[in-house]
Each structure stands twice: as structure tokens, then as C-alpha cells.
Amino acid sequence: MYLKKNSIYISFLFGVILMLSNTSSAQISNTNYPVSITPVLFPPFPSSIQFLNTAQTPVLNITITNKSSNASIQNVLLGVTVQTNSFLAQTRSLNQAQQFTLIGNTPLQLSNLDFSSLYSFANLTGITQAQYSAPFPQSTITFGFVVYDAITRVQLSNVNTYQVTYSINNPPTLQLPLDRASIVEQGVQNISFQWMPRQSNAPGSVEYFLQLIQVLDTNINPQQFFAGNPRLLFEGSTIATNFVYNALHPPLIPNQTYAWRVQARPVDYGGFTSTNFLEGGNSSVRTFKYVEACKVPIITSLENTSNNATISWNSFTSSQTFIVSYKPQNQMQWIDVVVPRSNISNSMVIPNLSQGVSYNIKVKGLCFGGNIVESVASNFSTTSANSTIVTTPTIPSNPSNENTPSRAAINASCGAVPAKIDLKSTLLSDLRVNDKITSNDFEITVETVSGSNGRFSGTGVAQVWLHGKTFNVRVRFNSITINTDKRVTAGEIITTN
């Protein structure tokens, strides 16, 4: 008959989840054998016969007892069997059995380390080399033990067995980040990787390895990134189902693509594994792009004439594209002008503006993933026809540069149409600091100057009559033409305050 004890059953889940069912069976026949054997296996269970031969940690224990009441000493031979649904391996002959000494009624406790040689390929029959070294198939594995008298070769015990049912686990399923996600740089590197296990082992019996590589060719199928021996940027392990990749790990490069996967490995105890995984425990492969933060552009200058404006800005994000938006101040609808990618100057001319109109203008920055940021809106006003001072100066509430000369003395005011003057064609050969030049009705005192032979660049101060008061307005000019009367014959003079 059979006596079954110590039975543990773990249900089979989703078809491929590990199910470990341990049944210790002591076989007793009508013959009253004088020696009893009690086998016990415990997790992590051996995954192949070869591992039993090479393991360095006990995982299989047997207790052999000579039931004789006297204290006689007896030498015995131990033989083993291993049976699956595809083979029956057993000790080749009693010449390969291992000898032990029993003392009457005194249990002898042994581990697989004491009789590991019995599991060497040379000492077994009924198995191929491939079956010997390969992981156990998905089936019930029966480990058997029997002893014989070392001298007479008479069987002294039943063939006592212990069963373990094996099945194969699927690798983990990746959860976050999502495939092809864009992860925006947040200053301090902090990315959470998460996955879902698909094995029934207790927590701690499986270790997970997060593997990360930088993708240099985005045209390759992502599943091929880890083929062969890839150069890993990072590999880290945990027994949890998440991993936080932070500033302590190798820095990620903004605007680069990365691939990642998770490999499940059974926790190794001296050469044994508690479970096996399909695909070597490797999950599928996902990619993400580590994106530079989308920073707001800043308008640095505005230059305008009667019918156009030139805007310049600073950008703080690489690979950013821009849209310049403007509108008359008395309207609600913005007009968007896309800045061509070929324009790398961070400046743009807005043409065909109306004369004498106040406008709002701003710059939008477009970043990877569709993020859009906007600069603070600035204001400017186009001038009336024939005016060469192209922006209306900002008037302080208590201007420190207010002067007392009358309008007649200044003879110039904003918005006034200057009288038509016939300009000499003879060009001025030399212009110096503190010289005064005239542009229409505005007189400008030169502060800095460069150039010669009628073409000059520099800065100066113009006096402007506005709302019954006069103001000193700083201006600049670039490559303007001046005749011998020190009148501007060509070019623009731009206000700077």
C-alpha cells in the first residue's frame, strides 16, 4: 500500500504559471524491510539532475534508519531514481551505488551534498546528455531512493519517493513608462519603472533586473535592441516590482531615445532555481524618449518702422521651433507666423503692418511631444509715413530728462509731417562725437560713431516734443547716409529707450 503525507498543492493559473506540488510518498510492501527511508525536498527545488550533481547548498534531505533493536553496524549501498513524463533515470548498477554505514535503530541523516556523485551523468542510465543538463520538463518529477546490503546486495528498503510538479512561468509584463512615451526632464532625474509579475512564487523567490540601453538607430525593431550582447547603459536588480531610476544612476541625455526591459531570474541558492521562465525570463522591450524641458523664450529686442517690425528673442531649449504671434491692440484675434526651421537667427521681420498702429507681439516655443510655451507679450507702435524714429518712446511719469525748450525751439514733434526738403547729394566725409545731424525735423546729437565717406553707424540723443513737453530719446543708427549738410539721406534711426 501507499502512505501519502506532507501534500501541498498550488493551483495552475493562466496555463503557464508555476505549480509546485510536493508529495512525500513512503512505499511499504508486504515485505517488512529492516531499513526505512524518509525523503524531503524543500524550495528552491532543483531544476535539473545536473544541478543536483553540482549544487553547493542542501535542498534534498533523506533519513535512513536501521529498525533493528540491537546496535549492530551494517554497511549499505544507496541508489537513486529520477522519473519524468519523458525519461526514467536511475543508478546504473550497484557498482555505482554509494556506501554508507548504519548503526542499529540510529537514524542517519544525509543531504544531496553527501551523495551528489549519484547524480553524475556517468553513474546514471536511462537518460541522454541533453535530458541530464536541461531543465526539468513541465511535468511531475519523482525522486526515488532505495538501499541494499553492501555485501549480499539484497534489497533492504522500499523505493521511497518524493514528487514535485513543475510548470513554466511567463516573464513579467511591463506597465510604466508606456511604450514610446515622452518623459520630460524635470531638473532632478527621477523615473519610475513598473512591471507585473506572472509567476505564483512567494515574494522574494524571484529577482528582477532592469536593463537600459541608449538607442542609436531608431529604425531598428525595438525587440532587436537586446539581441546578442548589447552594451547596457545600466542594469540594476530588485525583488520589488518597480525601480526608481534617479540621480544616483547614469545620467540620461535629453532628446535621446532609450530602450528598456525587465528580466526575471529565480533567486539562486547554490546552483538551484525555484522556477523556470519562458524567453529566459525577459519581458518585451519598450522605448521612451527623454525630452528636454520646454523653456519659455524671452523677447530681447523690437525694431519697427512705419510698416514692419523686427523681433528678436533668446531660446533656452534645443530643437525648439517657434511661432511669432501679433495683433493690433484693439483686436482679439492673434495672427500666427511660423518661423521656418532654416531660420536659426532667433529673429524675424513682420511685414505689411499698418502705419501708426499699436500692436501686441509674443513668441511661442514648440517642443517635442507638442508642448507649447509662450513669452510675455510685448507692445510696439508703427510710425506714421516718412518718420524715421520707428518706435514711440515710453514716457516716464516723472521724466528726469524733461527739458524746458519750447516746441518752436525743438521744431519737431511725433506724428507731425515734416516739410519736404531738397537733399544735397554730396556725402559727408567725417562725423564726430557731439556733432548734430538732422533726420526730417529731428535733431540728433551724436554720442558714439564709426564709419566714413558718408556712411556712418553709432548712437545719439534726439529731442522730441510730445504732449507739450520735450524729451531726450536715445537712438541708434546703422549704415545711414549723411550729406555735407549733416542731414540723413538714407537709412533708419531707431529709438532704444
Q: What CATH number does residue 338 fall under?
A: 2.60.40.10
Give the residue, 187 or 155, on which the prediction is more confident.
155
Instruction: Tell me the average pLDDT across 311-322.
Output: 82
Looking at 276, 291, 306, the residue that finishes a domain is 291
| 433 and 346 co-located in one domain | no
pLDDT at 214: 92
470 pLDDT tier (thresholds 50, 70, 90): low
| 191 and 280 co-located in one domain | yes
Which residues, including other chains, have CB under 8 Å from residue 384's CB and lie 6 or more apart? Answer: 306, 355, 356, 415, 417
| Other CB atoms within 10 A of residue 247 CB | 9
| 350 and 427 co-located in one domain | no
pLDDT at 200: 65
Give the residue, 391 or 43, on which the prediction is more confident.
43
Burial class (CB in 10 A: 0-12, 13-18, 19+), 67: middle
Give the residue, 390 or 133, on which the prediction is more confident.
133
What is the tens place of the pLDDT at every residue in 335-356? Answer: 999 988 888 888 889 888 888 8
Strand ranges (E), 114-251: 124-125, 140-149, 160-165, 173-176, 181-184, 190-196, 206-215, 234-238, 242-246
How far is Cα 448 from Cα 2, in angstroms, rounded to an integer? 112
What is the tens place of the pLDDT at every residue in 37-65? Answer: 999 887 667 878 998 999 888 889 999 99
| 6 and 60 co-located in one domain | yes
How far is Cα 403 from Cα 220, in angstroms, rounded to an integer? 72
Looking at 165, 183, 212, the residue that finishes a domain is 165
Domain annotation covers residue 280: yes
117 SS3 class: helix
| 257 and 279 co-located in one domain | yes
Longest dimension (CA), the chain: 142
pLDDT at 489: 86
242 pLDDT tier (thresholds 50, 70, 90): very high
Domain annotation covers residue 389: no
| 323 and 451 co-located in one domain | no
What is the tens place of the pLDDT at every residue in 9-37? Answer: 222 222 222 333 333 333 334 468 889 99
Domain annotation covers residue 468: yes
Domain annotation covers residue 396: no
Global confidence as pTM: 0.48
| 190 and 155 co-located in one domain | no
Type of residue numbered 46: P
Looking at 165, 195, 223, the residue that finishes a domain is 165
Instruction: Tell me the average pLDDT across 58-80.
Output: 87
| 7 and 155 co-located in one domain | yes
Domain annotation covers residue 274: yes
Domain annotation covers residue 16: yes
How far is Cα 61 from Cα 114, in angstroms, rounded to an integer? 10
| 219 and 286 co-located in one domain | yes
What torsion, rounded to 10 degrees, do the Cα atoms 495, 406, 442, 437 define? -110
What is the tens place of the pLDDT at every residue in 191-239? Answer: 999 999 987 655 557 889 999 999 988 888 888 888 878 889 999 999 9
Question: Mean pLDDT score of the chain, rounded to an integer?
Answer: 79
Domains in the chain, number: 4
Instruction: Tell me the average pLDDT across 104-119.
Output: 91
What is the tens place of the pLDDT at every residue in 267-307? Answer: 754 333 446 787 888 999 999 998 888 888 888 888 877 78
The DSSP 8-state label assigned to residue 382 in this structure reads P
| 30 and 160 co-located in one domain | yes
Q: Which residue has the cell 550497484?
A: 94
432 SS3 class: coil
